[in-house]
Amino acid sequence: MKPYLQSQLDGITDLTIGLPIVREYLQARILEGLQQAGAFFCLSFHGGTSLRFLYDIPRYSENLDFGLESQPERYDFTRYLTTIQRRLAAENYVVEIRTKKEQPVVNKAFIRFPGLLYELGLSPHKTQVIAIKLEVDTNPPQGAVSETTLLQRHVVLHLRHHDRASLMAGKLQAIFNRLVIKGRDWYDLWWYLNQSAWPLPNFAYLNSGLRQAGSSLPTLTEANWKTILRERTEALDWATVLNDVAPFIFDLDKQSDFNKERLLGLLDGG
């Protein structure tokens, strides 16, 4: 399907424009490989890329994140990677898989495509690599609810993923547990709060993730979660938020309401 990928670029030679298109296509093909390997009997898709694929959040994402949430006896990370590599190599992609030898809880792999950006006319460097990070939490917090969705994004995908309440809870876990400011977390939160029909976070899953990480926060409930989140928001260095998320957002200059004041207003119910 390399000709198809080339057609998606439609003559684009600017790496900053073309890279997200290529990355998202490769993510779709990797999800397809996981599907073919039977990974979704065990895994549930979550995180920023799931929002992009399932709900068209207007930002690109880098990683593919999953939780091992059923049938652990069928889980085989190595086989999944082998299937992905074999399927793409059959289409003349050069694919390298890099993993760490010891991965006790979170299994991570970088699926690398050396030379692809050069081949597509996006880079003058033959050795430049585009890589997709795949991450599986083999001991995820308890309480997430999953569902399945059939969609087409470059290929037909039948994805098992966290439901909307659990996706939002997972984002709040990241915001409260992460030691550094990641602007993409705050953009996703802003996006969630702008979705008028989006349900409240899954508090059972949210609190399970906080406890697992050793958080000192009180139990979060419908009555207090926005108040506690508002305190975190007020303390943000917004320039740091924007610097992190800007490369991933479509037309950031057209999303002027992505600002701290608007986010605080949403948390206040406005």
CATH number of the domain that 59 lies in?
Answer: 3.10.450.620
Which region among 84-93, 113-122, 132-141, 251-260 has the lowest average model confidence (pLDDT)?
251-260
Q: Does residue 29 sit in the same domain as residue 89?
A: yes
Of 162, 177, 209, which residue is a domain's last? 162
**pTM higher than 0.75, yes or no?**
yes
Residue 219 CA: distances (Å) to CA of 140, 165, 269: 18, 17, 21
Q: Which domain holds residue 103?
A: 1-162
Q: Does residue 19 sit in the same domain as residue 112?
A: yes
Q: Does residue 143 sit in the same domain as residue 104?
A: yes
Residues 179-234: tens digit of each pLDDT? 999 999 999 999 999 999 999 999 999 999 999 999 999 999 999 999 999 999 99
- Paired with 130 in beta bridges are 113
State yes or no: pLDDT of 124 exceeds 80.
Answer: yes
Q: Does residue 128 sit in the same domain as residue 168?
A: no
Of 144, 162, 180, which residue is a domain's last? 162
Contact present, 80 and 173 (Cβ < 8 Å): no
Alpha carbon distance 175, 184 (integer Å): 10
State yes or no: pLDDT of 103 exceeds 80.
Answer: no
Q: State whether the Cα torsion 102-182-69-133 is positive or negative.
A: negative
